[in-house]
Amino acid sequence: MVFSSNVFLFLFLPLFLAAYYLTPNRARMRNWVVLIGSYVFYAWWRVDFLFLFAAVTVWNYLIGMAIARNGVRTPTARRWLALGVTMNLLTLGYFKYANFGVDSLNAILGTMGHEPMAWTHVILPIGISFYIFESISYIADVYRGDTEATRHPVDFATFIALFPHLIAGPVFRYKDLADQFEHRDHTLEKFGEGSLRFMQGFIKKVFIADTIAPLVSSAFGLTHPTTADAWFGAIAYTAQLYFDFSGYSDMAIGLGLMMGFRFVENFNQPYVSQSITEFWRRWHMSLSSWLRDYLYISLGGNRHGTLKTYRNLFLTMLLGGLWHGANWTFALWGAWHGLVLSIERALGVKPDASRFRPHRWALTFLVVVLGWVMFRSENVGAALRMYGAMFRFDGVGLSDVYASAITSIELATLALAIAVAALTGATSLRPAPRPPVFAHGHVAAQFVIWPLFVLAILKLSAESYSPFLYFQF
């Protein structure tokens, strides 16, 4: 089940909200409703993987309790933490990377003239990257003393299972939501704010990202793209990914508000960034902070000299790239960002957004777009084909094959996406930014969002299944 589906909009969500608000207004009683609803939401995909999901939840709850019993940062607690992290990573490694490892090994064996190793393909459980990372952050925070181990298993299970963010983030931390599991406010104003935020994300996804998607698929599917084809496709994907993923985050945050939760923000106009360091403070912010706090710092951060700082930056982004998917393209994408971050650190580049510098913005945007080509490509060979076309400079026109596949509505939507990103980005650079046009309470929201939301539903109903891009991660 996905948010951008009629089943979710007209069956699951109304029934869930009815059950939620008919339950007495006590946080822990409503936590049960959220937990059961989240398990139904997850089981809609595959019931069997719900058992894995529950097992990971129970395991990390017990590990958290064991760490708490032995005291903050004690040697015994450290051993429990190591055991918990190891089992989490082994679980993630098997389901997410076993196929990749065997395929890579078989490719090597093939070049050496050996028979490939027999292997039964492992199915990747949806959302496993997110709930494993959140589990690790919980037991690590209990060990560090940053949060108390909860003695309420339903609170912890609800934290792991919260359906608004379960499939594609943001990446939560228990310490940021612990108080809200014990008490949260439910007001008509908060519900209205959440509804508008959900509709805003729905419009981003269905109206913009899904309409741009064919431009991207056609460009990356070309056997012999021209320079114009490659650049056009890369720019289209840059827009599609942002509106798809930020749309999901808006919907997740909106659903949380409708249940009384206030979640962390996940995007802050990343395409106005003037350095890659700033980009990662604006793009998928919950993952960026997770990688910093639980990976970069654990590797040593900047505490052991300049060269090791560069190494830690590079390794953090390399592993962050692999977290996105079991493919060499993701590893290279992460390595690309890690390399640029290290270069910026060496040059003393600061993420200063107090003054807009067009040349710095243009260079940063170029680095981001080039990275997205590798991120989107099915394999390294396809990415190299796109890069070769981008820098072959064989003319300014689109190929006849690509041009014939483009419709006027797709072009208009891409232009709209670029205009919206530019306008909202420019607004965010002001010393005292104005509220976004679609912010809750803004007059335009009442007259623009509702009609667009209705039209987006009609569009969705007339089309096929529309998954979010980050579901694969």
* Residues assigned a catalytic role: 324
Nearest to 255 by CA among 431, 41, 472, 24: 41
CA 61, CA 5: separation in Å to the nearest integer? Answer: 33
Task: Assess contact for 143 and 82: CB atoms under 8 A.
Answer: no
Residue 1 tokens, joined: 């089940």
Give the N- to C-terminal CA distance of the chain in Å, as an integer: 16
> Is 90 strand, coil or helix?
helix
Amino acid identity, position 4: S
Cβ-based neighbours of 125, under 8 Å, separated by 6 or more: 46, 49, 52, 53, 95
Asked if omega into 467 is within 30° of 0 (cis), the reply is no
CA triple 146-152-154, angle to 5 deg: 115
Nearest to 234 by CA among 250, 246, 249, 222: 222
CA 176, CA 155: separation in Å to the nearest integer? Answer: 13
CA 123, CA 469: separation in Å to the nearest integer? Answer: 18
DSSP, residue by residue, 248-287: HHHHHHHHHHHTT--PPP--S-GGG-SSHHHHTTTSSHHH
Cβ neighbour number for residue 214 with a 10 Å cutoff: 16
